[in-house]
Amino acid sequence: MNAPPYPCDRKYAENSLGYTLRWARRCKAWVQEHQPCSGEGRQHHFGIVQGSVYADLRKRCAEELAAMDFDGYAIGGVSVGEPEDEMLRAIDHSAPWLPEDKPRYAMGLGTPPQLLEMIARGVDMFDCVMPTRLARHGVALTPDGPMHIKNQRWAADIRPIDSEGHPHVTQFSRAYVRHLFKAGEILALRLLSFQNLEFYLRLMAQAREAIAAGTFGSFKDSFIARYQANDIL
């Protein structure tokens, strides 16, 4: 894989794409020679779509990787400094050319609204440091948006961080978690990490339920509207 930075000119992106495809072919050949095809010890290998912001390069990369028949496909080279609309366009220019019967994985993303927008574009899997990174800085993710728990406004607030959250976290008040941060207690980081990870897992479970029920579009819109409308910083 060779992920170009943002911004980069077309020539740079083309050269990087060449590295990506050559590396993918070498990896596929090695796997076929050295790894078991099925059963115990079988690993799954993903090709990674690159191409920067150039739609035709993304399409070419996706199609060539699909022809190599990987177990799944990642969409890489996003969230490298580009605006959010460019990031979503990169997904738009990659996902349609990938096999529908193989998992599609967006690398290193993203915020809760971004995850739903990418699911709407056909992405199945994600990974991101955001839940725990935000937790270390005192930010809790809630259905009403990010909450900066260290702010003075929570000093006497006895409500839980997220009334819809996991019982392990809802037993603690906002004021108490804020106190833990101010006191330098490691429990504060653990509680917010738990909150944020559980929030992401809950969101994905809700998305699956909405897809199964045929209501994903309305679920996405209502979640994002609520998440972005409230000022609880």
Check residue 83 and give its pLDDT: 92
Could you tell me the residue ranges of all domains in the chain? 10-126, 130-229
Q: For residues 135 and 143, what is the distance between their CA atoms, to the nearest angstrom?
A: 16
Cβ burial, residue 144 (10 Å; 0-12/13-18/19+): middle
Residue 4's pLDDT is 85
Token duo for residue 224:
């994002």
CA neighbor of 74 nearest in space, from 120, 35, 20: 20
Two tokens at 62? 């996706």
As a whole number of angstroms, the longest Cα–Cα distance in the chain is 63
Q: Mean pLDDT per segment of 10 residues, for the chain of length 233 residues?
A: 82 95 96 80 90 96 98 91 92 97 94 97 95 97 96 97 95 98 97 97 98 98 93 60
Distance between CA atoms of 138 and 152, rounded to whole angstroms? 12
Residue type, 154: W
Domain 10-126 sits in CATH at 3.20.20.70
Specify the pLDDT at position 196. 97
Q: Where are the beta strands (DSSP E) in the chain?
A: 46-49, 72-75, 104-106, 125-126, 139-142, 145-148
In whole angstroms, give the CA distance from residue 78 to residue 61: 14
- Residue 159's contacts (CB-CB under 8 Å, 6 or more residues apart) are 173, 174
Q: What are phi and psi of 197, to 5 degrees?
A: -65, -45
Which residues are CB-contacts of 218 (< 8 A; sequence separation ≥ 6)? 210
What does the pLDDT read at residue 1? 54
The tokens for 94 are 């990659």
d(CA 134, CA 137): 5
